[in-house]
DNA sequence: ATATTTAGGTGATTTAAATCATTTACTTGT
DNA sequence: ACAAGTAAATGATTTAAATCACCTAAATAT
């Protein structure tokens, strides 16, 4: 599950991700020397809320869910992480303890870097630091948007948000297949599975989407956007 | 309202704030040379959502409210900024456009730095960059907590949160005076003024707090914590 | 000084969504 | 192939909080 990294074979995939673009060859070599690649199976936990932070994780392939657990097994999913993005940066550099959990939604390859090595690169390379800062800001603004939606949008609006999120950010297609259960989707909308099912089936009955099990087709992107907008 | 800064008189207050601790004398001089001090009166707007970002703002004295405006004049207050903290960093480095507004809750002195000069310091001084990263992470985690509370805590729990927030983070006392109207306090709890008034008056009737206009005394900190915890 | 607006407060009513209960349809493991 | 567990779905009921309507008390403007 955990393997040492060979430098030459890794420099290549580095350059496809904008994050490592700012690192020079020495820095890339240093990063690789202080990292491992770890594979996680679907549903495996990457890290659990309330455990100590240790590594910076970068998703190479697969799909990862970020979620928070509260009292009486209530869960709220924050987002789904796409390949080419960091996982849990906010906790690693914000607290010694993870403030949320992460689990693999699909089989995933994670590039794990020692926290202190990553910190060295940030301190040494200002452009790299700025990329990280930009990402953290974007992430923060995303959460603020979710907070606003949670406070003021009704369920149809929040479900429309999530449909747009999957279609535009995750799968980049108007047809896709959820890799999450209804309960998990409900957690992403900040509601219960029953309410989620009822409301998304109304979308289906109103022919705004086609829904067959986990297969979705957005029939009227326009209506979904209007629903999201009106809240 | 806007005055040029004299270097020698400013180096002093710099050192009382941990943020500028990592800057050497040259960097401090550079920062001051690229900054102005601006005063805002109570209720004046520092920046408005959907306008272009331009400066990094640091609160020297006063109190500032960060809030987002949605459809049909719905507002959600994110937080109250204390002296010694940056205002709107997340938008300045996350987007060209402010994603939220800020207004002075009390008369406030703002130290404003040109975005590009601030960026230079981040790129040049890795420790400074790490401090900024740490702050952004903390801010992000704070919003995530609010999101969780908004999704799963009932109003009494969210009001208890806000009471703890004022008492522990803002005023650092169990007696304090709100500088906000009931409507603004409601916006900080993600509710309406009517619901806020009803619920906080229940706290008063149950002798958990004393409330007289805007004057608050937390009578049983323990009960407030329990209410916050149970949700 | 008086009018007008803004803030604080209360009661009655409605409403969105949670909760509870149960059924049916899939997966997953042995 | 079958049992057992998990996921999806739907109806009935309850509930927290929004909305609506109104009133009083301060604050601000003329």
pLDDT in tens, A70-99: 988 899 999 999 999 999 999 999 999 999
Nearest nucleotide by C1' position to the B196 CA atom: D17
Q: Is the CB of B202 under 7 A from strand D?
A: no
Q: Per-residue pLDDT averaged across A106-111, rounded?
A: 95
Q: What are phi and psi of B107, to 5 degrees?
A: -50, 130
Q: Per-residue pLDDT averaged across B84-108, rounded?
A: 96
pLDDT at B200 (0 to 100): 98
Mark out chain A residues that contact chain B at CB-CB < 8 A. Answer: 68, 70-71, 74, 76, 78, 89-95, 99-100, 119, 122-124, 126-127, 129-130, 132-134, 136-141, 143-148, 150-152, 190, 229-231
Q: Nearest protein residue to C6's C1' (by CA)?
A: B181
Q: What percent of chain B has pLDDT over 90?
A: 89
Chain B residues inside the 8 Å CB shell of A147: 76, 78, 143, 146-147, 150, 190
Instruction: Name the pLDDT band for A176 (thresholds 50, 70, 90).
Output: very high
pLDDT at A1 (0 to 100): 43
Q: Are A68 and B144 spatial neighbours (Cβ–Cβ below 8 Å)?
A: yes
Q: Are A14 and A28 spatial neighbours (Cβ–Cβ below 8 Å)?
A: yes
Instruction: Name the pLDDT band for A18 (thresholds 50, 70, 90).
Output: confident
Question: How many A-B residue pairs are in contact by the CB < 8 A criterion?
Answer: 146
Instruction: Name the pLDDT band for B11 (thresholds 50, 70, 90).
Output: low
For residues B164, B167, B173, B179, the Cα torsion angle rounded to the nearest 10 degrees is -160
Tens of pLDDT, residue by residue over A208-229, are 999 999 999 999 999 999 999 9
pLDDT at A5 (0 to 100): 65
pLDDT at A17 (0 to 100): 84
Q: What percent of chain A has pLDDT over 90?
A: 89
Q: What are phi and psi of A219, to 5 degrees?
A: -80, -50
Instruction: Name the pLDDT band for A117 (thresholds 50, 70, 90).
Output: very high
Query: Could you tell me the domains of chain B?
Result: 2-149 (2.60.120.10), 153-230 (1.10.10.10)
d(CA B199, CA B204): 9
Chain A residues inside the 8 Å CB shell of B92: 137
Is the alpha carbon torsion for B174, B177, B180, B181 positive or negative?
positive
**Residue B4 pLDDT more than 60?**
no
Å from the B124 CA to the C3 C1': 61
> What chain A residue is nearest to B190 in terms of C-alpha separation?
A151
The three state secondary structure string of A167-210 is: HHHHCCCCEEECCCCHHHHHHHHCCCHHHHHHHHHHHHHCCCEE
- Residues 170-189 of chain A within 7 A of strand D, judged by CB, are 181-183
* Strand D footprint nucleotides (protein C-beta < 7 Å): 7-12, 16-21
Kindly state the tokens that stand for A1. Answer: 């599950």
d(CA A169, CA B138): 25
Q: Is the CB of A204 under 7 A from strand D?
A: no
Among residues B148, B104, B133, B103, the alpha carbon closest in space to that of B22 is found at B133
pLDDT at A198 (0 to 100): 97
**Residue B17 pLDDT more than 90?**
no
d(CA B94, CA B66): 16
Q: Is the CB of A192 under 7 A from strand C?
A: yes
Q: Is the CB of A197 under 7 A from strand D?
A: yes
d(CA B6, CA A116): 39
Q: Per-residue pLDDT averaged across A96-114, rounded?
A: 96
Across the interface, whether the CB atoms of A144 and B94 are under 8 A apart is answered: no
Mark out chain B residues that contact chain A at CB-CB < 8 A. Answer: 68, 70-71, 74, 76, 78, 89-95, 99-100, 119, 122-124, 126-127, 129-130, 132-134, 136-141, 143-148, 150-152, 190, 229-231
In angstroms, the separation between the Cα of residue B98 and the nearest Cα of chain A is: 10
Among residues B224, B150, B189, B77, the alpha carbon closest in space to that of A68 is found at B150
Across the interface, whether the CB atoms of A74 and B152 are under 8 A apart is answered: yes
Among residues A50, A55, A41, the alpha carbon closest in space to that of A69 is found at A50
Å from the A104 CA to the C25 C1': 26
Q: Per-residue pLDDT averaged across A26-49, rounded?
A: 94
Q: Is the CB of A194 under 7 A from strand D?
A: yes
Burial A146-180 (b: 16+ CB within 10 A, else e): bbbbbbbbebbbbbbbbbbbbbeebbeebebebbb
Q: Are B139 and A139 spatial neighbours (Cβ–Cβ below 8 Å)?
A: no
| Residue scoring higher pLDDT (B196 or B18) | B196
Across the interface, whether the CB atoms of B136 and A138 are under 8 A apart is answered: no
d(CA B13, CA B17): 7
Nearest nucleotide by C1' position to the A74 CA atom: C18
d(CA B196, CA B212): 15
> What chain B residue is nearest to A142 in terms of C-alpha separation?
B140
Give the ranges where chain B is alpha helix by DSSP (H): 7-16, 25-33, 89-92, 115-124, 126-152, 155-164, 182-189, 193-205, 221-230
Burial B2-31 (b: 16+ CB within 10 A, else e): eeeeeeeebeeeeeeeeebebbeeebbebb
């Amino acid at each position: 599950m955990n393997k040492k990294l060979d430098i030459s074979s890794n420099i290549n995939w580095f350059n496809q991700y904008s994050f490592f673009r700012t690192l020079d060859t020495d820095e890339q070599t240093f990063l690789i020397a202080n990292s491992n690649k770890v594979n996680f199976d679907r549903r495996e936990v990457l890290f659990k809320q309330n455990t100590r932070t240790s590594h910076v994780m970068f998703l190479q392939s697969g799909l990862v869910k970020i979620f928070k657990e509260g009292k009486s097994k209530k869960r709220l999913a924050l987002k789904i992480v796409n390949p080419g993005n960091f996982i849990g940066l906010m906790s690693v550099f914000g607290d010694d303890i993870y403030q949320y959990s992460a689990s693999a939604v699909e089989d995933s390859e994670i590039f794990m870097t020692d926290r202190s090595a990553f910190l060295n690169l940030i301190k040494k390379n200002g452009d790299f630091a700025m990329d990280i800062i930009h990402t953290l800001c974007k992430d923060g603004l995303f959460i603020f948007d979710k907070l606003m939606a949670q406070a003021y949008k009704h369920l149809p609006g929040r479900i429309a948000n999530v449909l747009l999120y999957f279609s535009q950010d995750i799968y980049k297609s108007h047809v896709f297949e959820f890799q999450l259960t209804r309960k998990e989707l409900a957690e992403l909308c900040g509601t219960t599975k029953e309410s989620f099912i009822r409301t998304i089936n109304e979308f289906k009955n109103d022919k705004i989407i086609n829904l067959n099990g986990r297969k979705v087709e957005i029939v009227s992107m326009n209506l979904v956007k209007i629903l999201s907008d009106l809240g």
